[in-house]
Amino acid sequence: MFGGAPNPVNGYCGIYVHGAGTRPAHRVAYELLVGPIPVNMEIDHLCHTWDRNCPGGMDCSHRRCVNPEHLEPVSRMENHRRSLSPAAINERKTHCDSGHEFTPSNTILRKLQTPAGLRERRACRECERQWRTKRPPRRQGSAAPAEIRRSDPSELKTHCKNGHEFTPENTYVKPYWHGDGGFRQCRECMREQQRAYRERRRVKKRTDPHP
């Protein structure tokens, strides 16, 4: 482990190189003891990859390691894939949360808009198929799914929650969003709500100096 003080910004240790200023100590150690680092490659600390309990970030002690056996040049994408970020952990998963394997035929790639641009996200095809079979139909007039239970007329209430009777003149049926059947509503309650709303509007117009 490198004994110098870590950089307060990124947690890596630096070392002064004559003519080049301060450089990351782990990159200097790799160049001196192994060889030049390929262009556009980063140094991955394998000791951090092996330690899955490391908290990462500024609390990662492996960032100060300069042991050449623990250093490997990799691309930025591979270095990120080996990290403990939520995106990297999800990318390493071989099965979805329901246990279905992410095979080429069972994987859907969706593009999502993020602050960094469009990013692809995996989704399980089998989970989506099961979800679509359980979802109620949305087109009006289509058959209702088996999960929707139709009420027995004998179980229907005769009065609303405010005590108004459900007579033919005082009842209207509002259709369900999936298009099969509907639910009863009280006309008298609706009229009272409309009167209360109009009264609140009148009071607001009288009291509000800037309508």
Express each pLDDT in 80-98 by its tens digit: 888 777 777 788 888 988 8
What confidence score (pLDDT) does residue 1 get? 40
CA atoms of 31 and 43, how far apart (whole Å):
11
pLDDT under 50: residue ranges of the chain: 1-3, 145-148
What confidence score (pLDDT) does residue 148 get? 47
Q: Which residues are CB-contacts of 171 (< 8 A; sequence separation ≥ 6)?
A: 184, 185, 186, 187
C-alpha distances in Å from residue 38, one per residue of 23, 31, 151: 16, 10, 71
Beta partners for residue 21, in sequence order = 17
Structure tokens at 137: 């139909």
Task: Give the pLDDT confidence of 11-31 residue by residue, as tens digits.
Answer: 788 888 888 788 888 888 898
Structure tokens at 143: 């058959």
Please state the pTM of the whole predicted model: 0.47
